[in-house]
Amino acid sequence: MGCTSSKAKKPSIIQNQSHNNIHSEPSLFIKQNNMKFIDVYEFGASLGKGSFGEVRVVTHRITNSQRAVKILPKDLNSQAQTKEFLNEVNMMKIIDHPHIVKIYEYFDTPRKSYLVMELCKGGELFEELLKRSTFSEDDAACIMKQLFSAVKYLHDKNIAHRDLKPQNMLLESKGDITNIKVSDFGTATLSKNKSREIIGTALFLAPEVVAGHYDLKCDIWSCGVILYILLTGRPPFDGNTNEEIFSEITKCELKFEDQYWSHISSEAKDLISELICPAKFRLSAKDCLEHPWITRRSAVSQDPNAMRGALSSLQAFQKKNKLKDAITSFLTSQIATSEETKELKQVFVSIDSNGDGKLSKIELMSKYLEMMGENEAKTEVKRIMKEVDTDKSGYIDYNEFIKATFNSQMLISKENLRAAFNVFDTDRSGTINVSELRNILCHGKNTPDDVWSEILREVDSNGNGEIDIKEFEALVMRKL
């Protein structure tokens, strides 16, 4: 096993090295699982099939949590398919946004690839649209604000989704349009330069995509088409074939017929006109979030008690023990359910006043100024950024916020702790050893066993060289 039960103090260089080798960014927990898929997950109902493959509900055998899996069969050109699959995985690993579907892990075999994602039980926005026929302006604005926030976040990272449509927007729960997530990054690309490949769904393609020379703003056109459909139940450009649709799109003759638009506000029409237009005149996602139709109709209501609780938790957060910090990050990103984090997500969105999917010093200051004087608020925000901003981006990302504000009694339940412990305890021995700890937290770094033994010894209260469930629970639950 390579670990020791000795309690003698190691030189300080070992302690420093051990701390430097523990990382807590949620993206680092998203790894390839080399076990057989069926040994890790139990298959449930099919959620849909297409040319890409199939999406099914699965249940994680250890944690008993339900997730979704995208199953991609491979043909003779499996090398190219594997490259495309890993491109999607690597794209989604760097995404951390409350309105974008997150992934947990992936499997890649000679015959199939599996991408395990969070399960959105409300189904597609398209299905909700079919039930309602159209949405009110207030409901449409609520939906579009979430979409614009996700698109701004992606565009800030130079990611073009390239297939935005109601079928790729999922509801966390049935009928709840206040919690929508963008999904399906199979066609997404890093778009620093102009793209030429015609990819996407015909009804939602921008004219420059049809022409084969486009950039990030192709997503904004798609947003305009989505908004048009939400308000009227019909697309702005249609045809019996893709060629006919492309011809109408290229003409770009946007019409607001009275039979569909007489009851729709001029502000809504103005926004659509600035989305479905030539790329050089098209709004950015930031502009969309600041448009009057969005700002006046999509205000976020927030429970003041939840807000105060989250702000107090941010103040109290201290990252003294990096092992606890990493395990907590694992719990909140890999084990906790969307229902358990729903209230904190709403607080995050409420603080995120510009909708870019991350919290700035200015946004935090605006909230703390409601609780204290300016000098005290500045001091608090400076300290919070130092403690909570793990990746040193200058912002508090979504999962950094969740990790820092979770309620240990509610979110990190005994059941969740046991589930996390079982994920670490891969040999089912009832304890976590050095090798198991390293496999979860080391992320491929070649770190000597004595370093990991030192890390383990910090919480190994009985000195047997391993972590049992009581020591694991004590580490996470105690105030450090």
Please state the residue numbers annotated as binding site for ATP: 70
CA atoms within 13 A on the CB side of 397: 18
Q: How far apart are CA 466 and CA 449, in angstroms?
A: 13
CB-based burial label for 49 (10 Å; 0-12, 13-18, 19+): exposed
Examine the residue annotation and report whether 163 is marked as an active-site residue of this protein.
yes
Q: How far apart are CA 239 and CA 244, in angstroms?
A: 5
Distance set, CA 47 to CA 43, 57, 69, 403 (Å):
11, 7, 9, 31
Spatial CB neighbours of 129, under 8 Å, sequence gap ≥ 6? 135, 166, 229, 230, 233
**Binding site residue list:** 70
Please report the sign of the dihedral spanned by the C-alpha atoms of residue 305, residue 311, residue 315, residue 319.
positive
Longest dimension (CA), the chain: 82
Please state the separation of Cα 325 from the chain's center in Å.
20
Three-class SS state of 189: strand
CB–CB of 283/290 below 8 Å? no
Terminal CA-CA length for the chain: 29
CA atoms within 13 A on the CB side of 233: 11
Q: Which residues pair with 117 in a beta bridge?
A: 68, 103
Q: Which residues pair with 72 in a beta bridge?
A: 113
Q: How far apart are CA 345 and CA 172, in angstroms?
A: 12
CA atoms within 13 A on the CB side of 204: 20
- Residue 337: CB atoms within 10 A of its CB come to 14
Q: How far apart are CA 61 and CA 429, in angstroms?
A: 17
3-state helix, strand, coil in the chain (%, to 5): 50, 15, 40
Identified catalytic residue from 96, 108, 139, 163: 163
Residue with tokens 């969105």: 349
- Residues with a catalytic annotation lie at 163
